A and B are shown apart, each in its own frame.
Chain A
């Protein structure tokens, strides 16, 4: 059973606008959440993370929001750039020993 879910397989956004990628999880024991970016034929690369003691973490154009009561996290990219076009995976961990990934959202930023 998928413990981390990304229900939107794809998303298209105009350059300069905000991209919002969503992720839901079912395991209340998860206490560390991450977003990864993946280009074709490359391994995933780490983007941003948040621990369960926070509800927001920001790094430049990227902000991750965590709503523990809803078991939901989101990634905001502002402003979106064509180079942001990639597949984005959310991941969750309990104690940092295993990482469970969602199915990914393919983001296309239209110039």
Chain B
């Protein structure tokens, strides 16, 4: 039972490069999220998708785009990476037949922009 799988686990980018972080869940969840974790800032929501075909901005969306490819997959794209985007990125999913359920997290992607 894989849960939430993120790839890659580590990445180093040069300023201005682009990349896509991949996320897939196998729990048939409706909602998926992208968070970033920075020291002293906790987990901040970048984008979320409440259902297949919909996406919404979270607290810190600038510099990012997302795609909800299907119910399983939710990708995060950095079009032109900046050093301020150095962070640990977490994908999460939630939602079943019960309205209130916890979110399940992936293992994280540690991104460094130099």
Contact status B33-A99, CB under 8 Å: yes
Q: How many A-B residue pairs have CB under 8 A?
A: 65
Q: Which residues of A contact B102 (CB under 8 A)?
A: 34, 46, 49
Instruction: Give the bracket for the number of chain B residues in contact with chain A.
Output: 20 to 34
In the complex, what residue of chain B is closest to A9 when comparing beta carbons?
A: B40
Contact A46 B100 (CB under 8 A): no
Q: Which of B4, B45, B101 contacts A100 (CB 8 A)?
A: B45
Interchain CB contact under 8 A, A96 and B44 = no
Q: B residues bordering A, Cβ < 8 Å? A: 4, 31, 33, 35, 40-45, 48, 50, 58-59, 90, 92, 94-95, 99-108
Residues of A participating in the B interface, judged by any CB pair closer than 8 Å:
2, 4, 6, 9, 31-32, 34, 36, 41-46, 49, 51, 89, 91, 93, 95-104
